[in-house]
């Protein structure tokens, strides 16, 4: 990666002396900061801006690590061949007209990638704005020189942005605001080769970078990104574009990359303690405040406690509303603190929280109002002293919340290594059998047999082939019972009429059996289960995400699960702490901790959920999918909570048939 | 009201020549704009700023409508007496130290109010910043002259703000931003007499005012505010402070006024098509954009359709995410439009939505990025031409959504007059009986009798006094049944063990009966009901809100109701359109229209809810509470949906015993 940021020799292919052109800006920007040799390349000129211009890359003499390429897309493959011939190490393709432009462009991009990979050349882009390193004043980008020359303000925030034009207009705005100190800016475009994870890894090692903020529409190597973020000591902030299906559609047309399952991404980023922003300046406001590295006392239990100092009661009230909405609360002030405040406060302003001053070591975020001129002076004074300032209450509070989130970040890698899990021989055998039979789908009976081998609790059940066996089973089990008809390949048994619940008598059971037997084809066998009454229905499962790989899901079940879609994802391996976090990340829990009691601490006289057992489900299903390539998907629905214990009542396992054993 | 805004003669009680003092600013501000006679009042001076100063209000000669009072709180009662003696019509009390300062201050405030009311004097405040009328340059406030003198920008937005200092700092910010045109600003403080509804009514008649924005922590006359907003042709925007219990606590300490039930207020404001903001500048951004009065084509069904014009794909994607989150969608562009856009768009930017230009008559909102200087010039050019500009995408989209909401505003007063509802004689009789018996609480049996008289559907049930009658009733009704024990005053029957469901046999029923009979006291009578299986549990009810009076509630029932608190309030009388709106305002519906199908159009093979029947419940309960002073609260829980029909299974009515018939 380093040859992109600190190259020995840079060629500008498409250099031109024409005013207002990217090819000229690229050369100008190099001359304004880069100390190594600069080689303009363009067969039309002998000289560009006082520098010798070469007809092609192969003609260049002297050291040459990096080529900045800004020629029409069709001309790029030949340029890359020249770069390979010359031994160039990296090329930043700032031209557009590739994958983002349609299938022809995609083919051209693939062709470029092949040339590069065969020649040992790394590609950055195409369809990007290149990079900026403020400390060295390296601007390897066609951004206009006047946009950065005066305004560049070195600092600790690095940006990785999957966007071209926005990064320029956006960076220009940020620089002119003078409140953000930048380290490195990477505009990575179509990411045909260099992508966000590799750059993230580079920036995590970069001394100048203290915080990394990313705008991404998808993750090329999601699992790798997750692992880097999980182990990172530096705060990471992500704005994920293309959250909604409409947004994702626009996204696909823009960078030709797939936007992922938003609920899964939200869960995974939370798991890795990545800060999530909803808008561009919100992303930057979080990053520039985290850069200050305030020492923050996070209460071991409960919410982050904030004091508000304001002469305006209304501002205090609205701030409190936003604090609560962001999971924070007001600090209770000691009598001593109140007394000291009384001395500072005018007589007409009674001291109460909202209304407080803190020790200066603690983070103090300023919301400024007043006349523009005075406000700007105050802002710049505060910012110079290292105190972040904001224009709106909602943003001030959101950023405050991110400080607390950062304070809660825990090192998970150690915990994970302590998890023990081994496959029992009996499960291996069942897996092999399923494989030999070539089945793609295991029904609830078989799925639950798998779960039992790893110590997970499933509903008691008996099988029957005919009415006689059915009635005997029910007698033995005790009424009321549930009767289920097993038909190969039928997963949605309820919709198919293959589930009859609430059977309290022999007569009712017989009627149910006879109805199912009248179906064509008649179910070859039946399941008899006791009619369980749970206090809560959950859904747990695992999926394989195209970006992030194996993922574990927990959700609230029943009809309302479909209405509220209250689900949370995490990547395995999971710890018990992860499992508790999953429960507390369910919206039903997050809406109010009081309501969360429904799940964790029992509800209306029901027993609390046994968290150890629930964790077991999540951890073990995670291990199953992580260690068994064969498993595509597991769905346990419902996982019923009976007297506090989770019990699998219905389940499906989908296998990946196309894999060889 | 008009004597506050256009008084003949203004006295400043507490006038002083001392620099940096409110008493000086008040006089200065008057001299800078007000054309009538100005009378400084202060026994210490003969002259203030070149004007004759009077020792007291009674000494003033000449016309005198209004007194601006800025003296210590303790001195205010005597000043008010002087004002009454002089025949002053209005007093703006800008001093603090009243209800906001504690019980003593509250007593002082009450004393002032009594003096004023007995003397026919209206009071504005106390603890307020007074008022500004930009068109006349009337600044009846102790705001510093330099804060407004140069910056004042007349326009169509009027503000009513229940806050003192904030309104000054805030107004100063707004004026210096130069993007908001103000008509009148009213800082109303403790609202001991003049309150937001009376001012709202005044501003609805005010020619200069096109949009009214309010910051409020509570509503003094909620129902009146609602009715004014409902019939208003002018857009109204509200920022309600004190949404959360913590915020409400801070609120109570600030203005000594009760913050209301936030869910109820949210519903009521929505019903009256009031725009709701979450932060101060959001409130202003919505108001200043609505002021432009863009002619907007709102699609009769479906979502507001937006076109995005941007050179940045990322900006388009993030904007789309925010559009969807705000209930909007992307427009589909015609081939002709796309063709015209191709001509405007550079070759490297493929035309798709996001990326469009519109007819200039349509609202165009601009999100600006780039270098501060150029951005400010562009902003001012656009704003001068009447195009609103914004700094962030989320705000731009939120404001766009408010334009569509405004476009959807319908006149409801006409519809309401067409509703027919009359009390049947049988219900009148039952009400009288309950009154004579002096009961405060009707249990489900009695409540459902009331409902039946007005044609509402309740569960079939039979009463029994002993085991024999119980068994006979069940036999007649058919198993399975539910057995409920009736004990006077017991509302929470389930928790008390007085409900036994799922009784399928005589044996089970007998056991249930015997268990309940072992309770002390033994239930004197029993209810036998069929065991209904519903597709959905709803809650409907009515309450009397201290601020808004009678209100109707609809919610999703069952365990998840407690977890998600998915409820919606509306004020009666209701129309069928209101009822449909209530259903579609439930969060389960709002999260995704697809999930909303669960309620309106049936779900997993269940029948759709009969909306006519559900509307009937909401409309009739609304009429009941509106026309019967006796009813304090009705709670129907659950209202079960069986084969699409709502059926009351359990209910309670609470009566107001303290009222005379």
Q: B562, A251: Cβ pair inside 8 Å?
A: no
Q: How far apart are CA B302 and CA B577, in angstroms?
A: 16
Closest by Cβ to B254, choosing from A244, A317, A504: A317
Residues of B in contact with A499 (CB under 8 A): none
Q: A352, B172: Cβ pair inside 8 Å?
A: no
Higher pLDDT among residues B637 and A359, named by residue:
B637
- Window 9-48 of B: residues touching A by CB (8 A cutoff) are none
Q: Find out whether the peptide bond into A354 is cis, omega within 30 degrees of 0.
A: yes
Q: How far apart are the first and last CA of chain B?
A: 37
Contact between B354 and B308 under an 8 Å Cβ cutoff? The reply is: yes
Contact between A528 and A500 under an 8 Å Cβ cutoff? The reply is: no
With CA atoms as reference, report the closest residue to A645 among A562, A534, A541: A534
- Interchain contact B151–A (C-beta under 8 A): yes
Q: What does the pLDDT read at residue B225?
A: 97
Contact between B547 and B218 under an 8 Å Cβ cutoff? The reply is: yes
Tokens linked to B658: 């303290």
Tokens linked to A176: 């002119």
**Residue that the structure tokens 């629905």 belong to:** A637
- What per-residue string of b and e applies to A581-603 under the rule 16 or more CB within 10 Å gives b? bbbebbbbbebeeebbbbbbebb
Q: What does the pLDDT read at residue B601?
A: 61
The SS3 assignment for B580 reads: helix
Q: What does the pLDDT read at residue B598?
A: 56
B213 strand-pairing partners = B159, B237
Residues of A in contact with B278 (CB under 8 A): 321-322, 394
Helix (H) or strand (E) holding B506: helix B506-517
Query: Could you count the other beta carbons within 10 Å of the beta carbon of residue A559?
Result: 19
User: How many angstroms separate the CA of residue B244 from the nearest CA in chain A?
Assistant: 6
With CA atoms as reference, report the closest residue to A591 among B241, B570, B566, B279: B566
Q: How far apart are CA B507 and CA B512, in angstroms?
A: 9
Q: How far apart are CA A213 and CA A199, in angstroms?
A: 12
DSSP A98: S
Q: What does the pLDDT read at residue B463?
A: 95
Q: In a mutagenesis test of the A interface, which of B152, B250, B397, B506 is the best target, namely the one with the most A β-carbons within 10 Å?
A: B250
Q: A166, B313: Cβ pair inside 8 Å?
A: yes
- Window 232-291 of A: residues touching B by CB (8 A cutoff) are 239, 241-247, 250-251, 253-255, 278-282
DSSP A257: -
Q: In a mutagenesis test of the B interface, which of A250, A281, A602 is the best target, namely the one with the most B β-carbons within 10 Å?
A: A250
With CA atoms as reference, report the closest residue to A199 among A266, A122, A254, A261: A122
Q: What does the pLDDT read at residue A258?
A: 42
Residues of B in contact with A151 (CB under 8 A): 371
Residues of B in contact with A251 (CB under 8 A): 313, 317
User: Residues A85-101: what's their mean pLDDT?
Assistant: 95
The SS3 assignment for A139 reads: strand
Average pLDDT, chain B: 87
Q: Taking 70 as the threshold, does the pLDDT of residue A354 lie above it?
A: no
Q: B313, A254: Cβ pair inside 8 Å?
A: yes
Residues of B in contact with A253 (CB under 8 A): 313, 350, 352
Contact between A15 and A79 under an 8 Å Cβ cutoff? The reply is: no
Q: A279, B322: Cβ pair inside 8 Å?
A: yes
Residues of B in contact with A238 (CB under 8 A): none
Q: Find out whether the peptide bond into A161 is cis, omega within 30 degrees of 0.
A: no
Q: B162, A393: Cβ pair inside 8 Å?
A: no
Q: How far apart are CA A11 and CA B318, in angstroms?
A: 35
Q: What does the pLDDT read at residue B249?
A: 58
- Interchain contact B536–A (C-beta under 8 A): yes
- Interchain contact B410–A (C-beta under 8 A): no
Write phi, then psi, for B95 (nearest 5 degrees): -70, 155
Q: How far apart are CA B90 and CA A234, in angstroms?
A: 61
- Interchain contact A587–B (C-beta under 8 A): yes
Closest by Cβ to B314, choosing from A166, A311, A373: A166
Strands A236-240 and A211-216: parallel
Q: Could you please report the per-residue DSSP string of A555-590?
A: EE-SHHHHHH--EEEEPSS--HHHHHHHHHHSHHHH
The string of pLDDT tens digits covering residues A577-626 is: 888 888 887 766 544 444 445 566 665 566 788 889 999 999 999 999 99
Residues of A in contact with B102 (CB under 8 A): 350
- Interchain contact B375–A (C-beta under 8 A): yes
Q: A595, B329: Cβ pair inside 8 Å?
A: no
The SS3 assignment for A195 reads: coil
Query: Could you count the other beta carbons within 10 Å of the beta carbon of residue B56?
Result: 17
User: How many angstroms separate the CA of residue A450 from the nearest CA in chain B?
Assistant: 30
Q: B559, A176: Cβ pair inside 8 Å?
A: no
**Biggest alpha carbon–alpha carbon distance for chain B:** 99
Contact between B328 and A247 under an 8 Å Cβ cutoff? The reply is: no
- Interchain contact B595–A (C-beta under 8 A): yes
Q: How far apart are the first and last CA of chain A?
A: 37
Residues of A in contact with B243 (CB under 8 A): 321, 324-325
Closest by Cβ to B311, choosing from A102, A165, A371: A165
With CA atoms as reference, report the closest residue to A67 among A46, A86, A47: A86
Contact between B126 and B192 under an 8 Å Cβ cutoff? The reply is: yes
Q: Express as a percent the part of chain A with pLDDT over 90.
A: 60
Q: Could you please report the per-residue DSSP string of A422-484?
A: ---HHHHHHHHHHHHHT-SEE-HHHHHHHHHHTT--B---EEESSHHHHHHHHHHH-SSEEEE
With CA atoms as reference, report the closest residue to A308 among B249, B257, B283: B249
Q: How many CA atoms does the CB half-sphere of A396 hold within 13 Å?
A: 26
Dihedral over alpha carbons A425, A428, A433, A439 (to 10 degrees): 150
Q: A163, B373: Cβ pair inside 8 Å?
A: no
DSSP A606: P
- Interchain contact A602–B (C-beta under 8 A): no
Residues of B in contact with A245 (CB under 8 A): 324
Q: In a mutagenesis test of the A interface, which of B127, B167, B284, B321 is the best target, namely the one with the most A β-carbons within 10 Å?
A: B321
Q: What does the pLDDT read at residue B549?
A: 92
Query: Predicted ipTM?
Result: 0.87
With CA atoms as reference, report the closest residue to B90 among B10, B188, B33, B23: B10
The SS3 assignment for A495 reads: coil
User: How many angstroms separate the CA of residue A320 from the nearest CA in chain B?
Assistant: 5
Q: B317, A251: Cβ pair inside 8 Å?
A: yes
User: How many angstroms separate the CA of residue B18 from the nearest CA in chain A?
Assistant: 19
Residues of B in contact with A173 (CB under 8 A): 369-372, 375
Listed range (A152-161, A555-564, B565-574) with the worst mean pLDDT: A555-564
The string of pLDDT tens digits covering residues B193-251 is: 999 999 999 999 999 999 999 999 999 999 999 999 999 999 999 999 987 766 655 55
Residues of B in contact with A279 (CB under 8 A): 318, 322, 392-394
Give the chain B residue whose CA is nearest to the CA of A163.
B314
Contact between A552 and A579 under an 8 Å Cβ cutoff? The reply is: no
Q: B313, A163: Cβ pair inside 8 Å?
A: yes
The low-confidence residues of chain B, meaning pLDDT below 70, are: 165, 245-260, 300, 345-361, 410-420, 491, 558-565, 587-606, 657-661
Q: Taking 90 as the threshold, does the pLDDT of residue A560 lie above it?
A: no
User: Residues A92-97: what's their mean pLDDT?
Assistant: 95
DSSP A333: P
- Interchain contact A558–B (C-beta under 8 A): yes
- Interchain contact A324–B (C-beta under 8 A): yes
Cα radius of gyration (chain A):
31
- Interchain contact A607–B (C-beta under 8 A): no
Q: In a mutagenesis test of the A interface, which of B126, B282, B314 is the best target, namely the one with the most A β-carbons within 10 Å?
A: B314
Tokens linked to A323: 């604090």
- Window 64-83 of B: residues touching A by CB (8 A cutoff) are none
- What per-residue string of b and e applies to B78-114 under the rule 16 or more CB within 10 Å gives b? ebbbbbbebebbbbbbbbbbbbbbeeebbebbeebbe
pLDDT classification of A646: cutoffs 50, 70, 90: very high
Q: What does the pLDDT read at residue B312?
A: 85
Residues of A in contact with B217 (CB under 8 A): 314, 317
Tokens linked to A234: 């530096």
Contact between A317 and B242 under an 8 Å Cβ cutoff? The reply is: yes
**Residue that the structure tokens 């007819």 belong to:** B359
Q: How far apart are CA B296 and CA B401, in angstroms?
A: 11
What proportions of chain A, in percent to the nearest 5, are helix, strand and coil? 40, 20, 40
Q: B560, A562: Cβ pair inside 8 Å?
A: no
Return the number of CB contacts < 8 Å for A and B.
Answer: 268
| Sequence-ordered alpha helix ranges (H) in B554-649 | 559-564, 576-585, 587-591, 593-600, 611-627
What proportions of chain B, in percent to the nearest 5, are helix, strand and coil? 40, 20, 40
């Amino acid at each position: 990666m380093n040859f992109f940021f600190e190259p020995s020799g840079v060629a500008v292919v498409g250099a031109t002396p024409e005013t207002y052109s990217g090819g000229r800006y690229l050369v100008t920007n190099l001359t304004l900061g880069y100390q190594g040799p600069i080689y303009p390349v363009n067969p039309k000129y002998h000289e560009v801006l006082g520098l010798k211009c070469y007809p092609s890359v192969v003609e260049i003499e002297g050291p040459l690590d990096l080529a900045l390429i800004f020629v029409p897309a069709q001309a790029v493959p030949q340029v890359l061949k020249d770069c390979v011939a010359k031994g160039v190490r990296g090329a930043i393709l700032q031209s557009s007209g590739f994958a983002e432009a349609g299938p022809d462009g995609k083919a051209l991009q693939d062709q470029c990638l092949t040339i590069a990979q065969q020649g040992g050349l790394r590609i950055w882009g195409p369809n990007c704005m290149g990079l900026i390193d403020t400390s060295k004043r390296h601007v390897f980008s066609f951004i206009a020189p006047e946009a950065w020359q005066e305004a560049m303000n070195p600092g600790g925030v690095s940006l990785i942005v999957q966007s071209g034009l926005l990064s320029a207009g956006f960076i220009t705005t940020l620089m002119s605001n003078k409140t953000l100190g930048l380290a490195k800016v990477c505009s990575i475009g179509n990411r045909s080769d260099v992508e966000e994870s590799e750059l993230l890894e580079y920036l995590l090692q970069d001394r100048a970078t203290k915080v990394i903020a990313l705008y991404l529409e998808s993750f090329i190597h999601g699992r790798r990104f997750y692992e880097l973020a999980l182990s990172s000591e530096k705060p990471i902030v992500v704005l994920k574009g293309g959250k909604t299906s409409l947004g994702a559609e626009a996204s696909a047309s823009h960078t030709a990359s797939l936007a992922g399952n938003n609920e899964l991404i939200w869960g995974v980023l939370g798991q890795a303690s990545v800060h999530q922003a909803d808008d561009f300046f919100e992303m930057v406001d979080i990053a520039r405040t985290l850069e200050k590295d305030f020492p923050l006392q996070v209460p071991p239990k409960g919410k982050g406690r904030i004091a508000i100092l304001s002469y305006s009661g209304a501002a205090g009230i609205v701030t409190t509303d936003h604090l609560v909405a962001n999971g924070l609360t007001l600090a209770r002030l000691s009598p001593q603190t109140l007394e000291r405040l009384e001395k500072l406060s005018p007589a007409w302003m009674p001291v109460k929280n909202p209304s407080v001053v803190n020790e200066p070591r603690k983070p103090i975020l300023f919301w400024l109002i007043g006349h523009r001129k005075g406000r700007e002076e105050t802002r710049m004074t505060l910012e110079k002293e290292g105190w972040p300032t904001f224009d709106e209450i909602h943003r001030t509070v959101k950023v405050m919340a991110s400080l607390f989130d950062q304070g809660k970040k825990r090192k998970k890698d150690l915990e994970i290594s302590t998890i023990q899990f081994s496959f029992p021989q009996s499960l291996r055998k069942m897996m092999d059998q399923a494989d030999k039979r070539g089945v793609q789908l295991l029904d609830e009976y078989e799925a639950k047999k798998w779960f039992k081998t790893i110590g997970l609790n499933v509903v008691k059940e008996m099988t029957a082939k005919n009415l006689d066996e059915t009635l005997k089973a029910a007698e033995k089990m005790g009424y009321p019972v549930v009767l289920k008809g097993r038909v190969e390949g039928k997963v949605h048994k309820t919709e198919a009429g293959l589930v009859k619940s609430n059977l309290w008598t022999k007569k009712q059971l017989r009627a149910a059996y006879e109805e199912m037997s009248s179906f064509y084809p008649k179910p070859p066998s039946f399941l008899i289960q006791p009619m369980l009454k749970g206090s809560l229905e959950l859904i747990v499962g695992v999926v394989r995400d195209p970006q992030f790989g194996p993922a574990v899901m927990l959700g609230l079940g029943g009809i309302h699960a479909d209405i509220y879609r209250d689900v949370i994802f995490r990547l395995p391996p999971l710890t018990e702490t992860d499992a508790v976090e999953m429960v507390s990340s369910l919206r039903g829990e997050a809406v109010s901790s009081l309501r969360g009691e429904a799940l964790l601490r029992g509800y209306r006289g029901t027993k609390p959920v046994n968290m150890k057992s629930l964790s077991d489900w999540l951890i073990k299903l995670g291990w199953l999918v992580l260690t068994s390539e064969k498993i595509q998907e597991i769905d346990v629905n419902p996982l019923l909570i009976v007297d506090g214990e989770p019990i699998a009542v219905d389940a499906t396992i989908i296998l990946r048939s196309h894999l060889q054993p």
